[in-house]
Structure 1
Amino acid sequence: MTDAAGRPTALVLRHDSAIGLGNLGPVLEEHGYELVVVDAPREDVTAIDALEPDLVVVLGGDEAAYETDRYPYVGHEIELLRQRVAAGAPVFGVCLGAQMLAEAMGSRAYRGPRKEVGWLGVDLTEAGASSPVRHARGIRFVQWHGDTFDLPEGVERLASSPQYANQAFRAGDWLLAVQFHPEVTPAIHENWLAAWGDELPEYDLTVERMRALQGEYGPAAEAASRAILGEFLDGLGQGRRAGSSKKSTSSFDAASAATPA
């Protein structure tokens, strides 16, 4: 789908105004995308044509991918993603978005043993070292999650951490999902400290310490994050742009993608 100016569209599924595109928005715009933001808790996700946007970006949130009874729109988003996966239509998922993609691809998201919170690094796999996530080498990103997921069949694990094995995965050149937070800017970081800073002492952190870590690691994390998304966007085949998502085909097992979450 293209807008009136002939630009490809990126549909952004957002769950909380404090968890927006941040650092990633300018990268999408620099690559020519018209951004269409949908606030999933308040808008009708079922009314969206899953294959109409050229790209879907699924952001994080407090919701869990397995809480579809509590948050029906999460189930609707997973169904939208399941349709895109079956078509091989481009998707980029962050944190909750990665967990939703795992569910959409026939795997399982679930509560982990302990939250992973702080400015932390990830370890690249061999596949990760030759993927867009290669820019994460030696970089610390914000981690703030308590859920995780089993790796779907037919994808490549790109990064892990000591606490959670699945930090990033991809399918071909059209799907990329990361558990860490590449979108964080100083403003987003401050919003999160205000909203969830009371959790920090449990992880031997304070608001002041997190601010110091942001000052130390934030600029490099932002640069690496822009490089990760930029390289992913550069790698999308032209056949998947400009309204041709419906014509795409996926090498991922469509039967798995159709398995109910």
Structure 2
Amino acid sequence: MRLHLLEHDPDDFSKTNITTWAAKKGYKISKTDVFKMEALPSLSNFDWLMIMGGAQHAWEEDAHPWLVNEKQFIKRVLADGKIVLGICFGAQLLGEALGGQVLANKHREIGWYSVFLSNEGKKSFLFKNVPETFLTFHWHSDHFSLPAGCTQLAFSKPSPNQAFIHNELPFVGLQFHPEYTLDIVRSFSRQYGHEWLPGPFVAGKEAVLAKTEKIPETYWLMETLLDNMVQIKQFRESVKSKKGP
């Protein structure tokens, strides 16, 4: 399996829960720093696209001209039927590419907050072996409407779409950050925590750091979701092959 990541920020993401999972599986990882205007890969060079988070807003094409090419590229990948995972800003770009709308959220959501599975999420293979309520890290100020042909799987108190899946193809969007390790959260808290002015769903720097020390680990959630995505892809391909052309 060949994974390709679209990165939007200069922070070091070389050691995330995704890279750990890929190394354990023996999967190859490549990436494009789209914010540097790097060339996007040929579709034949990867099997799974992961659209990662970023500090940008999906509508800022004038401020970030590379967004235009990235959005076109994502649509080509979707048309090709590859596995696609969008996380945070990446989920917003995926949702928009599928016909949804990205909007400013009423409340920013930054810190360790609970995500709740919807009734469909409780039945979804994506969340197999995941509790109906789980704690995870959030850092976003925008949200997206549910695209047509997709199912809402999870929500949080300020954000109605924390996870969705396409009804026919292996496209998944996650608004939360299961890829963050505890070390990443600590690093971001120290580097950017001064910007986290406490609010209804924004924990301040010291609160985030204190809570982080009480979290056992975060790898289990990312591992479970990625393993389930692989099986969803395999299951849908087997059904398709049985139906024939």
User: What TM-score results when the alignment is normalised by the length of structure 2?
Assistant: 0.86
State whether residues 27 and 230 of structure 1, in contact with CA within 8 Å, keep that contact through their aligned partners in structure 2.
no
How far apart are residue 51 of structure 1 and its match? 5.3
Q: What CA distance in whole angstroms lies between the structure 1 residues aligned with 2:8 and 2:131?
A: 25
The partner residue of 2:151 within 153, 156, 160 is 156
Could you report, residue by residue, the CA deviation over 1:45-74 in whole angstroms, capped at 9, with x for unpaired residues? 4x4224541000111010111111211222
CA displacement at 1:123 relative to structure 2: 1.2
Is contact 1:117-1:143 (8 Å) kept? yes
Counterpart Cα distance in 2 of 1:149 and 1:19 = 26
- CA displacement 1:19-42 (0-9 Å, x = unmatched): 636111121233332100211111
RMSD: 2.2
One-letter amino acid of the structure 2 residue matched with residue 148 of structure 1: H
Contact persistence 1:19–1:59 (CA under 8 A): no
One-letter identity of the residue aligned with 2:205: V
| 2:228 is aligned with 1:231 | yes
Instruction: Report matched runs for 1:1-261 at 5 Å.
Output: 8-18=1-11, 20=13, 22-45=16-39, 47-50=40-43, 52-129=45-122, 130-134=124-128, 135=130, 137-171=132-166, 172=168, 174-203=170-199, 205-219=203-217, 221-237=218-234
Alignment partners' CA distance in 2, 1:36 and 1:146: 28
Identical residues among aligned pairs (%)? 26
Report the residue type matching 1:156 in the other structure. T
Contact 1:18/1:191 (<8 A) preserved: no
Tell whether the 8 Å contact from 2:6 to 2:31 is kept in structure 1 after alignment: yes
Secondary structure in 2 aligned to 1:216? coil
Secondary structure in 1 matching 2:4: strand
CA shift in 2, pair 1:19/1:74, >3 Å: farther
Distance in 2 separating the partners of 1:192 and 1:231: 28
Structure 1 contact 65–100 (Cα < 8 Å) conserved: yes
Question: In 1, distance between residues paired with 2:25 and 2:170?
Answer: 15
Structure 2 residues not aligned, in runs of 5+: 241-245
Q: State the alpha-carbon separation in 2 of the partners of residues 19 and 126 from structure 1.
A: 36
- 1:136: Cα distance to partner? 5.2
The alignment's TM-score, normalised by the length of structure 1, stands at 0.81
- The runs of 5 or more residues in structure 1 that have no matched partner are 1-7, 241-247, 249-261
**Residue by residue, what CA displacement relative to the aligned partner does 1:52-102 show, whole Å, maximum 9, x if unpaired?**
410001110101111112112222221111112222211011000000001
Distance in structure 1 (CA, Å) of the matches to 2:88 and 2:12: 11
1:160 counterpart letter in structure 2: F
Q: Which has the higher contact order (CA 8 A, sep 6+)?
A: 1
Letter matched to residue 8 of structure 2: H
**2:154/2:160 contact within 8 Å kept:** yes
1: CA distance, partners of 2:181 / 2:136: 11
Counterpart-to-counterpart distance in 1, 2:10 and 2:230: 24
SS at match of 1:201: coil
Q: How many residues align?
A: 232
User: In the alignment, which residue of structure 1 is the partner of 2:243?
Assistant: none
